[in-house]
Amino acid sequence: MEDKRVGEDKMEEQKVEEQKVEEQKVEEQKVEEQVEGVEEQNGVDSKPEEKKTTSKKKIIIGVIAVLAAVAIVIGVYANSKLSKVKQTTVDEDQLEISEEVEEEIGADYLNVAIFGVNAKSADDKAVDSDAVYVASLNEKTKEVKIFSVYGNTMLEHNGKSVKMKEAYAEGGAEEAIAVLNENLDLNIKDYVTLNFAAMVDMIDTLGGIEIEVTEEEIPHINGYAQGIAKALGKDTPDVTAAGMQTLNGVQATGYCRIRVTEGGDVKRGSRQMEVINKMLEKLTTSGFEQVDKCMDIVLPNVETNFENGDIISYGADAKKYKVSLLPAFPRTIKEQVRQPQKEGVQFADFEEIVEGTNLEKDVEDIHKELFLDRIQESDK
C-alpha cells in the first residue's frame, strides 16, 4: 500500500511539472506575439530569415532595374548624339599594312589617324589635311601617345613622292592612311577627320582661349582671321597687341594657320597642338550644358569609320587614359625648302617643303616610344 501511494504521488508531481512547462510555453508564445506586434507597429522586420532574403532580392532587382534604365537612357542619348557623325568605311586591303608590321605591333595597340581639314562642308573631300596626327592607345596600360606629322613633309607612296597633306585631297582618308602606314611602318585602320570650321564655334562656346601672341604673328592672325570670317559670314575684331590674349574662334583658327613666320611648318604644327591643348583644358573644366553644346557643334563636322559602339566603349574609358605628346615627325629635318604657293592661298607667295634627313631612324625612335613594352617582350 505504501509503495502504491508513493507511485501515485510521483505521477501527480510529474503531471504538475508537465502542466507548468506547458503554461510556460503558452506565456512565451504570448510574449513573442506581443513583441512581433510592437515591432510591426515600429516598422521592424521580425519575420524569418527567408523573408529577409526575399526582401534583399527585391532591393537588388530594383537597383538593377534602375541601373538598366539609366544605361538605356545614356545609350539613347549617346546614340542620338553620334547619329550626327558621318560614318564611313575603308578598304583595309588598300591601307599598306604588311603582315610583318601587324605581327610586330600586336593586338594590344589601337593606332588611329586624325586629320584636320578646312572643308566648306562635310561632303567636301577635295581638301588638304592641314593637320595630321597619329594617336596610339595601349589597351593594357590605357596610355595614349600622340604625335603630329608635318603637312608639308615629302613621303613615298606607290613609287612616287607625295606631300603628306595633299594625300587626303587626292584619295581621302584611305589614301592618307596608306601613306602613313607605308612610311611609318604602322597598322592604322581607323581614322577621325575634323572640319576646322567646327573649331571656330566650339572655341566661341568655350569663351575663347588664352594664347601668348608675338608681334610677328599679329598681322598673320588678322589676315587669316578676316579671310575665315568672310568665308563663314562672321565678324571678328583684329588682334592689336602682343602678349597673352583671349582669342575668339576665328582668331584662334587664324593663329593655327600661320606658316610664314620663323619656324615655318614646324612652328605651325606646334601652334595647332597649343590650341588643341587649350581647348581640352577648357572642356575638362566645363559643365555638362557647355560640353553638350560643344558636342552639337563638333559631331556634325566629324567623319570616321569607328562604329557607335566602339566610340561609346572608348569614351567610357576616357578618364582612365594617360595622354602624352611626342615630338613631331620627321624629327630630323633638312633646311626647309620654299616653293611657289598654290593659287588662292593668302598671305604668302611660297610654302615650305619638309624633308627628313634620317626617316628610318625617326621611325625606329617612334616605335620605341609607342610600343616599348611590346619590344621588351620580344627581346626576352
Cell numbers 573644366 label which residue? Answer: 285
Task: Report helix, strand or coil for 64.
Answer: helix
Position 3 in a domain: no
Cα–Cα distance, 228 to 235 (Å, whole number): 10
Residue 41 lies in a domain: no
Per DSSP bridges, beta strands 160-163 and 190-195 are unpaired
Residue 243 gets the label, from left (phi > 0), alpha (psi -120 to 50) or beta, of: left
Asked if 271 and 256 touch (Cβ cutoff 8 Å), the reply is yes
Q: In whole angstroms, what separates CA 146 from the centre of its chain?
A: 12
Residues of the chain with pLDDT below 70 are 1-79, 119-126, 265, 335-352, 375-380
Residue 25 placed within a domain: no
Rg (CA), the chain: 35
337 occurs within a structural domain: yes
Q: Using the structure block, give the residue that is written with the C-alpha cell 586629320.
A: 115
Instruction: Look up the domain containing 339 and give its range.
Output: 82-205+208-379
- Asked if residues 229 and 197 have their Cβ atoms less than 8 Å apart, the reply is no
Q: What pLDDT was estimated at residue 81?
A: 73
- Dihedral sign from CA coordinates of 147, 150, 155, 158: positive
Q: Which CATH number covers residue 148? A: 3.40.630.190
Q: How far apart are CA 127 and CA 147, in angstroms?
A: 22
Reported as a single tens digit per residue, the pLDDT across 135-186 is 999 999 999 999 989 888 899 998 889 999 899 988 899 999 999 999 999 9
Q: CA 150, CA 131: separation in Å to the nearest integer?
A: 8
Residue 282 grid coordinates: 577648357
pLDDT at 35: 46
Which candidate, 229, 249, 251, 256, places its Cα nearest to that of 240?
251
139 lies in some domain: yes
**Does residue 26 lie within any of the structural domains?**
no
Contact yes or no for 113/180 (Cβ under 8 A): yes
Residue-level pLDDT at 273: 81
Instruction: From 67, 360, 92, 117, select the one nearest 257 (Cα to Cα).
Output: 117
Question: Which of 219, 239, 95, 227 lies closest to 157 in space, CA to CA?
Answer: 95
Q: Would residue 29 count as lying in a domain? A: no
pLDDT the model gives residue 101: 92
Looking up cell 562672321, which residue turns up?
Answer: 234
Q: What is the pLDDT of residues 43-78, one digit of tens each?
A: 545 455 555 556 655 565 555 555 555 555 555 556
Cell 572608348 belongs to: 314
- Is pTM beyond 0.85? Reply is no
Q: How many independent structural domains does the chain possess?
A: 1
Domain-embedded: residue 4: no
Q: In this predicted structure, what is the pLDDT of residue 344? A: 46
